[in-house]
Structure 1
Amino acid sequence: MTPTFPDLAGASVFVTGGGSGIGAALTEGFLRQGAKVAFIGRSDATAFAESMEAATGTKPLFIQGDISDNASLFAAIDRAAEAHGPVTRLVNNAANDDRHGTLDVTEDYWRRMIDVNLGAYLFASQHVIRGLRDAGLPGRIVNFSSISYIMGNAGYAVYTAANAGITGLTRSLAREFGPDGIRVNALAPGWVLTQKQLDLWADPEGLAAHLGRQCLKEHLAPEHIVAPTLFLASDASAMMTGQAMVVDGGVVTTG
């Protein structure tokens, strides 16, 4: 059962990639807290938004766009603010964990993957922070990282580099904007078995090997990531900032 975080009721929330995978679970989770949710995604998520209205009684605002295009990203955040008030909770969730060989990486591929997996996190945060400062409001930013770089995983070096960068970005933003009442934390999930993972990467051998590394012998599902995200976005974590919280069933250790 997901706990209730009263301060999220009525909050203006913006989720990148909020129409599928972990992002879809986050959109539903915030809606069930009574938040006003907007999300951006490249694929048409109109049907998902309608299903959320049927399930929760509130329809999220879906804005179709590409997070790696700043004009599209900024316009989406502005539209969310117009509909729901200044965004006070930003969840940078969207990512692309495309597998690749390091020797095959081209300059174009590097730029494209960094734009999606790191650049969009900076620019979304930048635009939301400007809005918070203009309105004189505190805010919460949750940046999705990954345990992949902590494990030193091979097979997607650009992705792991970006996720290491997300943790560094989180700490720097927390330090710079803490005086404005803006908290910035990272959440590093383990291998969450979204439909995309099941379709593209999850084979029986890989699943068994990863489960063997976990202390808790249950595969992670998107639903396992919802409550930790709500916690970081709420006043329950009021004095947490600049932190990277791991939710992985006990694969890596921190501290």
Structure 2
Amino acid sequence: MMPSAIFPDLKDRSVLITGGGSGIGAALTEGFVRQGCRVAFIDIADEPSQALVERLGKEHGNSPLYLKADLTDVEELRNAVAKAIDTNGLITVLVNNAAWDDRHDIDDVTVEYWDRNQSINLRPQFFAAQAVVPGMRQSGGGSIINFTSTSYMINQGNMPSYTAAKAGIIGLTKGLAGRLGPDNIRVNAIAPGWVMTDRQRTHWVTEEGLRAHMNKQVLREEIQPGDMVGPCLFLASDAARMLSAQTLIVDGGYL
């Protein structure tokens, strides 16, 4: 469900979202479009991304800019950021959302698999931030929001490279917050619980598993992609003016 709250200070802001074409990312793209932001999103999947642009343009008269790029290629990422700036102006909100949560057993992980996993789940978050920081400084400040996960907090054992990256995002968030605070750039993280995206339902959700998980939540409803939008808008807005170096857990009270 999309939040009903409107943050007037977000209108016309230039926002960049990684992995913004599907799942949680698509909900975030729509959420910022609804606020009247100038939204650009990076994704590698053409079909869902183009469909999202078309739908949001028709529904809200505010089409986001789709930038196709492979985030494992840092130069492609930098070029995409440059295109977003050329089109929408200096970026003052960055949402590092893109992730790859394939399950993998410790015995099966190769050096190549580990490096690729980190090149999707951790490395782009730093280099996307590095690319937007000069413009945020020039603009007088900004907000960087890094998506982590509760998976490493609950000792989930079937994806060690992923959980290592997600824990690393917390360290990155706090380190960037410390460095960029004097520039009026806030850096925070959001840690979703088990969000019912189409990908989760296709690959990993079972009726029994979902019921068992929800029974450990204090809010016993399925968490939807749209449930990540309100927290993200809040962290992007002036309502969170003095909030930095924090991790906001959005898991229905599981923890």
2:202 aligns to what? 199
2:142 aligns to what? 139
Q: How does 1:25-64 map to 2 (within 5 A)?
A: 25-44=27-46, 45-64=49-68
Q: Is the 8 A contact 2:197 2:224 kept in 1?
A: yes
SS at match of 1:151: coil
Matching of residue 13 in structure 1 with residue 12 in structure 2: no
1:223 aligns to what? 226
Q: Deviations over 1:109-137 (max 9, x none)?
A: 0000001000010110111113323x243
SS at match of 1:215: coil
Cα distance in 1, alignment partners of residues 175 and 161 from structure 2: 21
Given the two structures, how large is their TM-score scaled by the length of structure 2?
Answer: 0.97
Cα distance in 1, alignment partners of residues 4 and 188 from structure 2: 20
Cα distance in 2, alignment partners of residues 202 and 236 from structure 1: 35
Q: Which runs of 5+ in 2 are unaligned?
A: none
Given the two structures, how large is their TM-score scaled by the length of structure 1?
Answer: 0.97
Q: 1:69 to 1:246 in 2, by over 3 A?
A: same
Cα distance in 1, alignment partners of residues 139 and 24 from structure 2: 31
Cα distance in 2, alignment partners of residues 232 and 129 from structure 1: 17
Q: Deviations over 1:132-170 (max 9, x none)?
A: 23x243010000000001111110011111000001100
2:213 aligns to what? 210
SS at match of 2:24: helix
Q: What is the aligned length? A: 251
Q: Deviations over 1:25-81 (max 9, x none)?
A: 100100110100000101101121011101111110001111111111111111010
SS at match of 1:128: helix
Matching of residue 105 in structure 1 with residue 109 in structure 2: yes
Selected match of 1:116 from 95, 117, 120: 120
Q: Deviations over 1:228-254 (max 9, x none)?
A: 0000011010000000000000011xx
Selected match of 1:188 from 188, 191, 207: 191
Q: Deviations over 1:149-192 (max 9, x none)?
A: 11111100111110000011000100011000000000000000
Cα distance in 2, alignment partners of residues 241 and 21 from structure 1: 26
CA RMSD after TM alignment: 0.8
Q: Is the 8 A contact 2:90 2:139 kept in 1?
A: no
Q: 1:136 to 1:5 in 2, by over 3 A?
A: closer
Q: Is the 8 A contact 2:92 2:136 kept in 1?
A: yes
Cα distance in 1, alignment partners of residues 122 and 82 from structure 2: 21
Q: Which amino acid aligns with 1:12?
A: S
Identity percentage of aligned residues: 49
1:125 aligns to what? 129
Cα distance in 1, alignment partners of residues 7 and 99 from structure 2: 26
Write out the 4+ residue segments of structure 1 that deviate beyond 2 Å after TM superposition: 130-133
SS at match of 1:28: helix
